[in-house]
Amino acid sequence: MDTQEVQMEANSITIAIAKWMQEFLTGLGVPEQWVEYTKLIVLLVLVTLIVYGLQFLVRKILIFVFKRVGNISKLSFMKYALENRLPHYLALIVPYSFIRGIIPIVFYDFPSFIKPMIKLTDIYMVFMVIWIIMAVIRSFGGVLQEKPAFQNKPMKSYFQVISIILFIFGAVVIYSIITGKSATAFFAAMGAASAILMLLFQDSIKGFAGSIQVTTNNMVQIGDWITMNKYGADGNVEEINLTTVKIRNFDKTITTVPTYALISDSFQNWRGMQDTGGRRFKRALYLKHDKIRFLTDEELEKYKEVDGLREYILAKQKEYAELNKGTKSTSIPLNQHRITNNDLFLQYGTHYLRMHPKIDNNLTLLVRQLAPTPQGLPIELYTFTNTTVWAEYEVILSEIVNHFVSVVKYFDLMIYEESSGSDTYDIYIKENVK
């Protein structure tokens, strides 16, 4: 049976059903002038009920099948397919086929409505196909995100790009359905409006270009801690999509940043610190200049009992003894190389940090002297903790700084501190004795 014969058979069935409905309603006493409208209303109600029933039944069957297959095969795709409502969209195929076939029967008495209603149904079919494809793609995307290589990728941005492409193709198909023209005519019409479209979708275009560069260069991943002072953002990246990046700040507020801002503006990504496993800290103590002095031999003997100083003192004494051999007058300290209390403080600080269990000795570790300032001589602690957890880092940092502040006095040094205006001073007056 060829296509023409099938069409003739369908037409005969349509005519038969239409005549039967007309005779049935006439027999019920419906006035002749209202028969056509009554028949239309009755058929529309029946079609609506049948469509909802078919969709409900097919959807329930598909959900049962997906769950059953998922439980037996343990495929995670089935779980994501249910989350993305793939059975719901697939269940629309049967009602669509039923509606398209029943339109000539429903609108038999209104033939001018048949073609527009078929076009409207076909337009709905275009959206239905896009929904099904996107549900399948999102389900596969969920499977990919279970793998370590894709966990931090901005999958939502990719889905939005695919969705835009699908809707563009959908718009072409809808244009062809409505006008009956080919896709070439659509693109010719769009060429004239391209400038307006680029203006309307400039943020999406910029975001698309930005998301591609961000992903290609691996600049930002989901979960990265980034800082963007321009936007007041300081926290972890929660979501990257086509137009925006969602950042949850440490105060639990959320900052939304345009995706293209990651390319056009500067930002700080702390991923390198997190990957290293150690977080840097540097603090400076300002020592008073006039408290730095040479140490006597008796004092050096006392400091030899401090852990980490004995070897240093012995090595320096030997080195300076060689350098001081040519000195004519040894009674003047200026003519000699000698150890200062600040030298020992620096050495002690280095030893203390190297022995600290919370300091990473594989990374840079310095206790260094910076350029003198009016507030004193800066002694900077520059090192890395062996943890990146913020709360732990702050505890370690405070303990170390407190320790250094406490030991300064044992080296006969003093930390510079500006007067608050309410400090009290002990003043001793020496009386002249005649």
Residue 388 pLDDT exceeds 80 = yes
**Portion of the chain with pLDDT greater than 90, in percent:** 19
Judged by average pLDDT, the poorest of 47-51, 216-220, 230-234, 303-307 is 216-220
* One-letter amino acid of 134: M
CA distance 17 to 46: 14
CA distance 143 to 228: 32
Confidence of residue 297 (pLDDT cuts 50, 70, 90): confident
CA distance 150 to 137: 15
Confidence of residue 397 (pLDDT cuts 50, 70, 90): very high
Q: Which domains does the chain have, with CATH numbers?
A: 3-215 (no CATH), 219-275 (2.30.30.60), 276-411 (no CATH)
Q: What is the DSSP string of 160-221?
A: HHHHHHHHHHHHHHHHHHHH---HHHHHHHHHHTHHHHHHHTHHHHHHHHHHHHHHHTT---
What local confidence, expressed as pLDDT, does residue 48 receive?
A: 82
What local confidence, expressed as pLDDT, does residue 196 receive?
A: 66
Task: Between 175 and 150, name the one with better pLDDT.
Answer: 175
Backbone dihedral angles phi then psi of residue 376, each to the nearest 5 degrees? 130, -170
Backbone dihedral angles phi then psi of residue 260, each to the nearest 5 degrees? -70, -15
Give me the mean pLDDT over the 335-360 stretch.
91
Give me the mean pLDDT over the 94-121 stretch.
81
H/E run at residue 346: helix 341-355
- pLDDT tens readout for residues 46-95: 788 888 888 889 889 988 888 888 888 888 888 888 888 888 888 888 88
Give me the mean pLDDT over the 326-338 stretch.
71
What local confidence, expressed as pLDDT, does residue 401 receive?
A: 94
CB 105 within 8 A of CB 123: no
Task: Between 17 and 434, name the one with better pLDDT.
Answer: 17
Confidence of residue 413 (pLDDT cuts 50, 70, 90): very high
- pLDDT tens readout for residues 232-263: 888 898 888 777 888 999 888 999 888 888 88
What local confidence, expressed as pLDDT, does residue 6 receive?
A: 39
